[in-house]
Structure 1
Amino acid sequence: MRGMYIHIPFCHQICHYCDFNKVFFKNQPVDEYIESMGQELAIMRQEGISFKEVETVFLGGGTPTSLSEKQLERLLEIIHEYVDVSSLKEFSTEANPDELTFGKLIVLKDGGVDRLSIGVQSFDADLLTKIGRTHGPDDAARVVGEARKAGFDNISIDLIYGLPGQTIAQWQDTLDKALALDLPHYSGYSLIVEPKTVFYNLMNKGKLPLPGEDMETEMFTMLIEQMERKGRKRYEISNFAIPGHESIHNLIYWENATYAGVGAGAHGYVDGTRYSNIGPIAKYMEKTALGERPVQQTHVVTAIEAMEEEMFLGLRKSNGVSISLFQEKFGRSLEEVYGETLHSLIKDGLVERLDDAVKLTHRGVYRGNDVFQQFLK
């Protein structure tokens, strides 16, 4: 097992685009939930699941920084009980700019966290309000400065384009202000309207003025070109970094490797089985209190499914899918399994074969979903 994802489902404010498992922080059993995650880890270890080889830990949500300093300290204590934090290649947490106080930064740093992923999304005050964010444009610069003061140098921010009513000028301003922070890593995602979100309900009522496909494509082009000009190489469709600062934890996902998912609604991939935990917090806690894994669904991944995942996850990376590693993992050649599909995609100019890799072409990056679909039988 290479990674561990820990889910904190609490938020002080629910963003209008978010479909992750989350609840409002107020009146929730936060302290008890943290202890339940410790119980889940203990049960996993009792079942023979080893955390000795874990390379990364990622705190996600929800909002991990919605926790108080004392709650963060307890969470980190529990993680230290099961993971040798000193040997990790990366220990990350997601954070909101207006919740990440200097005191919390010190707690995180002392607890071994060495990478911050900050949900900035936009530097436009009106857009931030429209999408349900509670921070302002100046909060991002402030928190980055405080994080550096606390000793963090591996910092990333998330940005979103294709927002309701967003203009090219607003996106350019956000890119300018983001790049002015001179961070080693940036993520830039197009808005996806998911079911069970505020935006989904507005869209169904015809009240969500989204930019058209052409404008969204232009925004994506701006993102790629301006990141490249500033030396942030695109190593995955939506992620850019100074070489050596790529997200190791996310690469575990894209390399189709194994990881544990801990917490309510968390997903994991262990010993050839993908699983998802119970989502409702009370039911999750009831299960762990009984000394049982809080797993809701499991799926044993077949050989065919594993090869499909290897392709559509691996092709997200700029270095693509390794031909020799595919042969080593599955005992079959890439040509044998996907030769016809690859020849068609190469002919269409969407995929190319270079040395030991198959990867998306520049044109293929813009039509990634169409390419990935070709490997789902």
Structure 2
Amino acid sequence: MVSALYIHIPFCVSKCRYCSFSSFAGLNGLYDRYLLNVKKEMDQISAGCCKKMELQTVFLGGGTPTVLDPERLVNLLDHAEKLFGFAFDAEISVEANPGTVDGRALELLRQGGFDRLSLGVQSFSADELAMLGRCHSPMEADAAFKAARSAGFTNISLDLMYGLPGQTIESWRTTLITALTLEPEHLSMYQLTVEEGTPFGDLLASGKLELPDEDTVVAMDELNLELCGEAGLEMYEISNFSRPGYRCRHNINYWQNNEYHAAGAGAVSFSSGVREKRFDDPREYCRRVEAGDTVITEREELTLEASFRETVVMGLRMMDGVERECLVARFGLDPERYYGEVLEKLVAQQLVELTPTHLKVTPAGRLYSNIILAELV
């Protein structure tokens, strides 16, 4: 049964130059109409559930959810709780841009039921933030974190990006040390991926975007392990580090390829072996909900073997890997027998480790994760 819910808020103050997500600036007049239609979609999801299970995790992402005032976000969360119910220890996350929150807003969010805050800092360098098109400063990021602590948030994650144009190992070290000095419970650190259709994608295609070379990025990866380890944050997934007890349960549900509800423009859900994506444009999304039309623009029904492979590949993102017994119970397939010589080769190269209970990527194989996953997909 489904125990996770993702709600997408597609609004932003401005569109960042690297962003390929479903996010739109300048649609302030659509806020209330959009929220009303998200509630309607959640009503439909709830009504379609044969068996209901209290939600273990809820995640409001974007976009930038906190371009909406906290009262609207709390009202949306209250609606979800009435429909689905929350477990007593549910993890309730909300993403925030440091430039869109203050002490009062954070207090209202915390009092309204959000207990995990994900701050999209990306960098503590003013030049790098300007280059990315972010709408906050390093001082605002620092102030937002401290205000969140004062508001009662005891589970704060910082999102950071590395491998940025013009970024050096030293500038990345400065950002990482600054972040660790704040003592967050969780860090998500993503290497920049330049996507087609973004301003960065256009610059790269025209030869006007210079990225750090592979050796520099590898050195940044090694620095992440070193400094986070010294600060007491353990790497539990390719891009994520946490203190004990603070792993992101919502994202682990994704990486284990378990089911999840989703509502809102651009949101993706997965249930009963079917993955569905909603229309990106919030205006189109609203029109369709109001007209009683489907909001689904893409639908993929996975075969058992495709779902098995996807579960293995997603699970190998985590340092714990995938549990063989769980794979057999869920799919009737064991990775050793299924992959055969392909897996034997990866084991012989010491890129993956196959134990009687688990399949996981080795520390040596971590730098070659993309190659490993491509072999197993």
Q: Report the AA paired with residue 106 of structure 1.
A: E
* 1:347 matched to 2:360: no
Q: Report the AA paired with residue 298 of structure 2.
A: Q
Structure 1 residues 21 and 52, CA, compared in 2 at 3 Å: closer, same or farther? same
Could you tell me how far apart the structure 2 residues matched to 1:296 and 1:281 are? 13
Aligned to 1:32: 33
Q: How many residues were matched structurally?
A: 376
Q: Report the AA paired with residue 215 of structure 1.
A: T
Q: Report the AA paired with residue 212 of structure 1.
A: D
Moved over 4 A (4+): none
**Secondary structure in structure 2 of the residue aligned to 1:58:** strand
Structure 1 residues 50 and 148, CA, compared in 2 at 3 Å: closer, same or farther? farther
| Structural mapping, 1:212-361, within 5 Å | 212-361=213-362
Could you tell me how far apart the structure 1 residues matched to 2:359 and 2:370 are? 16
Aligned to 2:118: 117
Aligned to 1:211: 212
| Greater shift in the superposed pair: 350-359 or 142-151 | 350-359
List alignment gaps of at least 5 residues for structure 2.
none
| Greater shift in the superposed pair: 65-74 or 35-44 | 65-74
List alignment gaps of at least 5 residues for structure 1.
none
Could you tell me how far apart the structure 2 residues matched to 1:272 and 1:333 are? 19
**Secondary structure in structure 2 of the residue aligned to 1:103:** helix
Could you tell me how far apart the structure 1 residues matched to 2:43 and 2:301 are? 23
Q: Report the AA paired with residue 127 of structure 1.
A: E
TM-score (norm 1): 0.96
* 1:166 matched to 2:162: no
Aligned to 1:131: 132
Aligned to 1:191: 192
Q: Report the AA paired with residue 342 of structure 1.
A: L
TM-score (norm 2): 0.96
Deviations 1:249-298 (A, max 9, x none): 00000011000121001001011100001112122112211334411121
| Greater shift in the superposed pair: 316-325 or 136-145 | 136-145
Aligned to 2:17: 16
Q: Report the AA paired with residue 283 of structure 2.
A: A
Q: Report the AA paired with residue 77 of structure 2.
A: L
Could you tell me how far apart the structure 2 residues matched to 1:185 and 1:303 are? 34
Aligned to 2:364: 363
Q: Report the AA paired with residue 155 of structure 2.
A: N
- Whether the aligned pair in 2 keeps the contact of 1:40 and 1:293 (CA below 8 Å) is no
Alpha-carbon shift at residue 50 of structure 1 (Å): 5.2
Alpha carbon RMSD of aligned pairs, Å?
A: 1.4
Identity in percent? 38
Alpha-carbon shift at residue 342 of structure 1 (Å): 1.4
Could you tell me how far apart the structure 2 residues matched to 1:11 and 1:82 are? 27
